[in-house]
Structures are given as structure tokens and as C-alpha cells.
Structure 1
Amino acid sequence: MGAVPASAPRGTAPLRVVARVHLMPPQHNAGAEHMLVSMLRPLVERGHDVSVWLSRYGKEREVYEYRGIQVVPLEARLDFPTAVRQADVLIAHLECVPHTTALARGYGKPVVVICHNTHRPTFRDMAAGGTALAVYNSRWMEREAELFFAEYPQAVRPGAELIVRPPVFAGEYATKPGKAITLINCNPEKGGRVLEKLARRMPDQQFLAVRGAYGEQVLPDLPNVEVVDHVDGANMREQVYARTRVLLMPSSYESWGRAGVEALASGIPVVAHPTPGLCESLGEAGVFVDRSDVDGYEAVLRKLLQPGEYRLASKRAKARSAELDPAADLAAWCDAVESLP
């Protein structure tokens, strides 16, 4: 698996951990869902019974397993309240937080809320009452949460709070970089139009446009742009990073930027808009250019075409990847979950 906690539950029986989320891989591949998967896998490794119950209709009709995790589609028509009654710990994120925390209060179960962004509904739903553990994906999100509680003193603070940076097991992504300039999720807010402008300006350069899990997709019909269909996270190394020389992340908002950290594992430089999340995740390895400055993006990309410049940027990327080893975060996460019942 990669960097995972080595210890087993400390003299306790395995826990029944039940997560409620809207969608899951392999049909839906977004940073929030792959962060959740990366956090649930070490719980499975520690011997706990982990299941994820979906709240939206999708393509699957039967219960399936994804990386050791049992996934229960809504179409399976199984009884989620029964799973809640039998659970030791509940987990929720995004749109599923309000009804999951309500069920947790009703059945007297501890609930973990994973916060993936700093938008006001995230903190409002987490602070509605009953949250045993809030997980923030970055230091800046933790600071934003502090500002929320200062502004709304009537909000109910969670019983405990923890930072878990979206875990990336570098060994599962590391490969030899390819030749293309790549954008993952080509919706306008992620930088789809920036990719299109750069591809027009650099007709001799190969670009990859990877269709995202959500949002309108800007997929240029240009001879130097290859459109890659929606990719399961388990296949990103072969289908995306092995073909990528530089990753673009001109996003208007990123609370962290998991794709960038995945790219760092292969020494792939990341050219990004300086959102607080990307500045924290990429650190000194990031090359930051304002998303409105297409001239700046072009200049940086042309500079990275020079072998010496690329080697230096690639060395910084690999160093940052090593700094982000998730073992300590995941050990603290597993310990926190095991302390809840």
C-alpha cells in the first residue's frame, strides 16, 4: 500500500466504521473521495470493518469492494439506518454531513466530519452539534475554522480536531515523467480555458486534457491536445502521470490540491495559481503564476523545456513529495478514530 500505520488496535476489538458519502470511485474520482479512500485503507489494515454507503444513485447496483473497502450503492436498497445502529463510528463529508450527524445524535454514535474546503456550509454543518472529531485537510483550513468559531460563538465545537493532509502514497504514483503538459479536470474554475489558450500559443507542444469528475469541461478541439476520459485514481500513474512532463493547476480555488502532490511523487513540476491550499501543499516545489497571467504561464513552461531548469524543478518536486509522507498523519488519524467509541 505504501506509508500506512504499522500498529494494530491496542487491545480493542475491531470497530465497525460506517461512512456516508454521495459517490465513490471508480465511477466518481475527485480529490475528496480519494482522500477518504486513503484514510479508510489504513483502518482496514488495522483490522477494522469499514463500509461506505452512497447517498446518490450511480451506475453500480450491487455492493462492491474498492481497495479493501466495502461500498454500498444506493441502488442496492440496503437499510442505512440499520448500519448506523450497528456502527461504532460514523464518518461523513460534504453534502452528507447534516443527515449523518442527525442520525448519529439519534442513535448516540460518535461521528467524524471530514472538511474538504473552507466554504461556509462546511463549517456550519460540522458545527451544528454532535461532531466528535473534525478533520481538516490543511493548516490554513484549521485557521479558517478558528475564524468561523470566533465569528459564531454559538456554534458547537467538535469534541476533537485533527489535521490530516490528503494522504498520497507516493509509491503508487511514482513513474518516469512523459512529454505532455497536463490539466486534470478541465472545468473553467480548474483552468480549462488557460489550457486552451496555452495550447493555441504552443502548437508544437503536446497537451493532455483529462476529463474531470464534475463541472463543465473545456476540452479544446486542437491537434496538439489529447482528451483523456475520466480516470480512476488507481490508474492515474499509467494513464496520466507516465505521460506528463508538467502539471498545470491554474485553479481559482484549491483547499489543498491532491493532484499536485500525486505529480510530485514522479518529480513532475507543478505550475499553479497561488491559492492558500496550493501554496501549503506544494511548498517550495510549486511554481506559482496568477491564473490570469497566460503570458506568465507560457514563459514558465518554455523555461521548463530547458533540461537544466527541468532537472532543478524535478528535484524540488521529489523532495517535497518525501516531506509529505503521510505515515504520521495516518497513524494519528487511526488512533483518533479508535479512541472515539
Structure 2
Amino acid sequence: MARAVPASAPGGAAKPLQIVARVHAMPPEHNAGAEHMLVSMLRPLVERGHDVQVWLSRYGKASKVYDYRGIRVVPLEARLDFPSAVRKADVLVSHLECVPSTAALARGYGKPVVVICHNTHRPTFRDAAAGGTALAVYNSQWMRAEAELFFAEYPKAVRPGAELIVRPPVFADEYATRPGQAITLINCNAEKGGKVFAELARRMPEQQFLAVRGAYGEQILPDLPNVEVVEHVRGEDMREKVYGRTKVLLMPSSYESWGRAGVEALASGIPVVAHPTPGLCESLGEAGVFVDRNDVAGYEAVLGKLLAPAEYRLASKRARARSIELNPTAELAAWCDAVEALA
């Protein structure tokens, strides 16, 4: 099973580094793929002995500094001085909406900044190419290819000093469990397939469905006797509250740059039925069962077939094999080495 990179991993900085990340939200209050990817990447840096801090840019429920998996998280409500932390930092890290402001501070204080890219939208590449990015991290091969198209289209854009692919790391032993009986959707907004889920629940009244409330977007939660709604779940509780109750995971998303939830499900041998976005095709590989999100009847037919014991065993075997293929150890070691090389 895949674990975080141990402190004894090859490479390593000459001294412990101060690594400061600036993002809008963090677990346990906000649990989404980008945040858990960031946590999974920061944990091995902590295990290598570095001081890792995450400073939040939005107000939330937390008002005091707290520890999350060895990472010091500083809420905006704590009213501490972020520029002072930047001055003391060896490396800055950011993603999504916080990249422009973090990069500006990095330029002002002469600090290297790492930008983690979670999607292929043009603003993501534009922000990473605004100048001064020491390292850009792409979460998939197809995102890396999309970045190449961006730089070809905008030849005057400033290319990051270095680029690296780190697929959203999933430590399989933290998610692996015995699958349950439900057909599950995680984050029931329309873009993630909430309408598809609701229609399938109506068409399959004898089957148990599990709707997991997501961290963002208007949730479509059907009021049906065969649908159980689970409130927003912390990442460390997903094994017990979600995957231990799931037989098949649905991912009829209109867009996924990778699809972390699908990879988490694979660790338990849970088959994933998904819309064929480039990200999901890359992440799930041969383990994925792909159906267009507009073909609800197709989803119903595939589910009917998958729920047959013999077919389920084969699909589950493919899922476990793909989970092993996605062991993140080597990519995380390369990530840690790349961050340490910036100091």
C-alpha cells in the first residue's frame, strides 16, 4: 500500500526549510480534491523534517491556529501577519485563486514560488506564467499537454523555471476497506452529475443510493426512500462513512482534470462508472467504465451488469490493479526533491 514519503527518502535539503503555502481553504472544514491533493503533497515534506505552514485567505469557522496532519494551518481570523511569514519563508506554495497575490509577494520578497495547477482552464496557466514561478506542478499528463498548447499560443508568456507532473497522491492504505452495497455520488452538484444520480435513483427503486454532500456547488439531493444523504465528510472519515458503504462509485462529471475520488475508491476495489473526460480516462485507465453523462439509460444498463456477482468481481480486480499502478511514492519523492532544490 502507498504511504507518504518517509523522512529517510533519498535527497533532502541541507537544513530544514520553512515552506509557506497560501490557499483559500483547508480541511477539516473544506474537503475537496484540490485541498486534499495539497495536503498529500505537504505531508511528505513534513516527514522530511521541514516546517510547513498553510495560511488561509478566506474567513471560515476556525479562529485559532491548528495542526492538520503535521501541517500548521493559520486561519485568516487569527489575524497574524502573513507578509512576516513570507519574509521568513524559504519557499512559497499556492494554487487556484491565491496564485496572483502569492506570486506578487514572492516577487517582492525575492522568494521562489511553486504553483500547483488543478485544472486546464486558461486562467490557471496564465497565473502560472505571470512571471517568477519557480516550479509549476501539473496533476496529469493531459494537463501538461494543455500547458504546452498554452505556451505555443502565447509565446510571450513567461514559462515557469521548472515543471513537474504529480498526479493527486492517494495513500491507498488510508482508504482501503471492504466495499458496501450503495451506488454513490460524492458532491451532488449538477456539474458532478447530480441530475444523473437522481434519475438513476428514480429508475432503480430497489437499489440503495448514497448521496454525499460536497464542499461546493448547489447540491441535488433527491427525496427518495432509496437515497440516503450523508453530510459533508472529512477526508480522514471517507473510508468508514463513504467507501465502506459503497459498491459502485458514480462520476458523471462534466469536467474533471483528474478525479481524486475515483482513485480513492479504486483502493477498495470499488468500480467507477464515469463520463469520459480526459482526466478521468487518464486516472481510471482500464479500470474505468465510461458512459456519456447524457446517456442515463446507458448508466442504468451498466450498473445492472456490474451488480451481477461475476462481473463485479472482474471490475473490482481491475480497480485494485489500477490502484497499485497509481502508487504515488516515486512522484512524491521527485516533488520533495524539486522543492528542496529551490532553497
> Is this a same-fold pair by TM over 0.5?
yes
Q: Mark the runs of 5 or more structure 2 residues left unpaired by the alignment.
A: none
Q: Is this contact kept in 2: 1:16–1:87, CA < 8 A?
A: yes
How many residues align? The count is 341
Q: 1:108 & 1:278 partners in 2: Cα distance? A: 38
Q: 2:5 matched to which residue of 1?
A: 4
Q: 1:43 & 1:3 partners in 2: Cα distance? A: 9
Aligned-pair distance for 1:142?
A: 0.2
Cα deviation 1:2-56 (Å, max 9, x = unaligned):
2424426536110000000000000000000000000000000000000000000
Q: 2:45 & 2:329 partners in 1: Cα distance? A: 13
Please say if 1:166 is aligned against 2:168.
Answer: yes
Q: 2:144 matched to which residue of 1?
A: 142
Q: Is this contact kept in 2: 1:273–1:290, CA < 8 A?
A: yes
Q: Is this contact kept in 2: 1:247–1:270, CA < 8 A?
A: yes
Aligned-pair distance for 1:112?
A: 0.1
Q: Is this contact kept in 2: 1:246–1:268, CA < 8 A?
A: yes
Q: 2:283 & 2:316 partners in 1: Cα distance? A: 16
Residue from 264, 274, 278 that aligns with 1:272: 274
Q: 1:278 & 1:100 partners in 2: Cα distance? A: 30
Q: Is this contact kept in 2: 1:91–1:111, CA < 8 A?
A: yes
Paired amino acid for 1:313? A
Aligned-pair distance for 1:315?
A: 0.1
Q: 2:123 matched to which residue of 1?
A: 121
Q: Is this contact kept in 1: 2:32–2:215, CA < 8 A?
A: yes
Displacement over 2 Å in runs of 4+:
8-11
Residue from 285, 301, 304 that aligns with 1:302: 304
Paired amino acid for 1:169? F
Q: Is this contact kept in 1: 2:185–2:212, CA < 8 A?
A: yes
Q: 2:316 & 2:43 partners in 1: Cα distance? A: 29
Paired amino acid for 1:190? K
Q: 1:201 matched to which residue of 2?
A: 203
Cα deviation 1:61-93 (Å, max 9, x = unaligned):
000001110000000000000000000000000
Cα deviation 1:83-112 (Å, max 9, x = unaligned):
000000000000000000000000000000
Partner SS for 1:149: helix
Deviates most, 5-14 or 104-113: 5-14
Q: Is this contact kept in 2: 1:173–1:263, CA < 8 A?
A: yes
Q: Is this contact kept in 2: 1:185–1:211, CA < 8 A?
A: yes
Q: 1:293 matched to which residue of 2?
A: 295
Q: 2:121 & 2:10 partners in 1: Cα distance? A: 36
After TM superposition, the structure 1 = structure 2 runs for residues 100-249 of structure 1, keeping only pairs within 5 Å, are 100-249=102-251
After TM superposition, the structure 1 = structure 2 runs for residues 62-81 of structure 1, keeping only pairs within 5 Å, are 62-81=64-83
TM-score if structure 1 supplies the norm length? 0.99
Q: Is this contact kept in 2: 1:65–1:71, CA < 8 A?
A: yes
TM-score if structure 2 supplies the norm length? 0.98
Q: Is this contact kept in 2: 1:8–1:46, CA < 8 A?
A: no
Q: 1:257 matched to which residue of 2?
A: 259
Paired amino acid for 2:322? R
Q: 1:19 matched to which residue of 2?
A: 21
Paired amino acid for 2:278? P
Aligned-pair distance for 1:256?
A: 0.1
Q: 2:175 & 2:292 partners in 1: Cα distance? A: 27
Q: Is this contact kept in 2: 1:118–1:141, CA < 8 A?
A: yes
Q: Is this contact kept in 2: 1:55–1:96, CA < 8 A?
A: yes
CA RMSD of superposed structures (Å): 0.9
- Percent identity over the alignment? 82
Q: Is this contact kept in 2: 1:136–1:162, CA < 8 A?
A: yes
Cα deviation 1:279-323 (Å, max 9, x = unaligned):
000000000000000000000100011000000000000000000
Partner SS for 2:191: helix
Paired amino acid for 1:262? E
Partner SS for 1:188: coil
Q: 1:112 & 1:272 partners in 2: Cα distance? A: 31
Q: Is this contact kept in 2: 1:8–1:47, CA < 8 A?
A: no
Q: 1:335 & 1:118 partners in 2: Cα distance? A: 25
- In structure 2, the CA distance between the partners of 1:135 and 1:11, relative to structure 1 (3 Å rule), is closer
Q: Mark the runs of 5 or more structure 1 residues left unpaired by the alignment.
A: none
Q: Is this contact kept in 1: 2:4–2:40, CA < 8 A?
A: no
Partner SS for 2:111: coil
Partner SS for 2:72: strand
